[in-house]
Amino acid sequence: MARQITLDQAEAIVSACKQEALAVGQPMNIAVVDDGGNLVAFAAMDDTKLIGVDIAQKKALTAVYFQMDTKDLVPLVQPGAALYGIEATTGGRLVVFPGGVLLRKADGTVAGGVGASAGTVDEDDQVARAGAAAFSG
């Protein structure tokens, strides 16, 4: 397995997410997956919500599966849009709202994804984005 992200890098991403979540004032669940969609690092902050344990991981996974941020899936999955209904596919593993961000290496290669969950979708997206900004693979 030639993982495109190290545990050290994943933990640095989680750490940056935690800092941003503290700034936002909303304890989060934070997940980093590799380019195969497999979990590398996870942290549930104290006093977060249980819903995010699962969804943070699935946001990160979805970003990798689509090679795009989950925020950009939103218009595509609405009634009448091209991917309407896709969230019901793949055994309930996809998340189609903001908070999952794709991680790319400097050369453009997909390195993995980061997901955050427990706040509003805008807060989640902001926290995941702060994690991605801390990555330079």
Beta bridge partners of 116: 30
Strand-pairing partners, residue 113, are: 33, 102
Nearer to a second copy among residue 83 and residue 134 (C-beta): 83
Q: Measured between alpha carbons, how far is residue 39 from residues 8, 58, 81, 109, 120 in Å?
A: 14, 10, 30, 18, 23
Give the footprint of a second copy on this chain (CB under 8 A). Answer: 1-4, 6-7, 10-11, 34-51, 53-55, 58, 64-67, 74, 77-80, 82-98, 109-110, 120-122
- Nearest-approach distance from CB 133 to a second copy, in angstroms: 21
Provide the token pair at 111: 């390195």
Q: How far is the CB of 126 from a second copy (least distance, A)?
A: 14
Smallest separation (angstroms) from a second copy to the CB of 73: 9
